[in-house]
Amino acid sequence: MRIETTINMPDMFRVYRRAQGPPPTARKKLRPLRRGVTDIPLRAQASQETNNRLMDELSAFSNQTPLIDLLTLYVRPRTRQGRRVRALDRSGQDRLLLQAISDPSFTVSGIPNVGPRKKLCGTFRGAGRTDKQLCARVSRHLRLLRDHGLVRKLPNRHRCHLTDSGRQPTAALNAMLAASTEQLLDMAA
């Protein structure tokens, strides 16, 4: 298996670089990736980071750790920076969220608020809920996942990435939910 990245629309990627133009002493800021030759090293770096995330995602499937051991850290309340963080409910309200954030389409550019909101719109919709309320609800859920260490926020972006400790439980939960009862019983035997 060979993993490689082709960037057809580089302006979707944001990298730290100086502004193009007369003031050469300008500070580096997060700017869109350009198509030119000068950004080839930055394009190679963005591609390598994407490849590494994809390889980490694929390596999560070869773990032999029992599911109960992967999820025990997250099914208990924690304290983070002096405040209590509720436990994750792996079979109830948080199951759909964990499935939504583990979608491989978020591997490249990260998890924006709108991504899980679109996937969960049928479950979050209630009588009279506005888009603003749904956005706030997904933000609270992403904050909960950050407090548990499953996702990390990208600097200067409104996106998150799954952490290494977040890939294992989400991949295991998806595999468990996709398996039939017969497959689960064969594994236990």
For residue 14, what pLDDT is reported?
Answer: 85
SS3 161: strand
- The identity of residue 38, as a single letter, is T
SS3 79: strand
pLDDT band at residue 171, thresholds of 50, 70 and 90?
A: confident
- Where would I find the beta strands (DSSP E) of the chain? 14-17, 29-32, 78-80, 83-85, 111-112, 151-153, 159-162
The dihedral formed by the CA atoms of 150, 155, 160 and 161, expressed in degrees to the nearest 10: -70
pLDDT in tens, 87-106: 888 767 788 888 888 887 78
182 and 102 housed in the same domain: yes
22 and 68 housed in the same domain: no
* Residue where one domain finishes, among candidates 34, 62, 90: 62
34 and 122 housed in the same domain: no
The number of domains in the chain is 2
Q: Which residues pair with 112 in a beta bridge?
A: 159
14 and 46 housed in the same domain: yes
* Residue where one domain finishes, among candidates 62, 94, 111: 62
For residue 58, what pLDDT is reported?
Answer: 74
For residue 41, what pLDDT is reported?
Answer: 92
Cα–Cα distance for residue pair 121/161, rounded to 1 Å: 21
- Return the higher-pLDDT residue of 32 and 68: 32
Cα–Cα distance for residue pair 81/62, rounded to 1 Å: 34
- Return the higher-pLDDT residue of 60 and 118: 118
Q: Which of 45-49, 126-130, 141-145, 172-176 has the lowest mean pLDDT?
A: 126-130
For residue 127, what pLDDT is reported?
Answer: 54
81 and 35 housed in the same domain: no
Mean pLDDT of the region 111-137: 76
DSSP character string of 132-152: HHHHHHHHHHHHHHHHTTSEE
109 and 121 housed in the same domain: yes
Domain span at residue 41?
1-62
* Residue where one domain finishes, among candidates 29, 44, 62: 62
Indicate yes or no: pTM above 0.75.
no
8 and 42 housed in the same domain: yes
How many residues in total does the chain contain?
Answer: 189
Mean pLDDT of the region 1-11: 86
Average pLDDT, the chain: 81
For residue 165, what is the domain's CATH number?
1.10.10
The dihedral formed by the CA atoms of 152, 90, 174 and 73, expressed in degrees to the nearest 10: 50
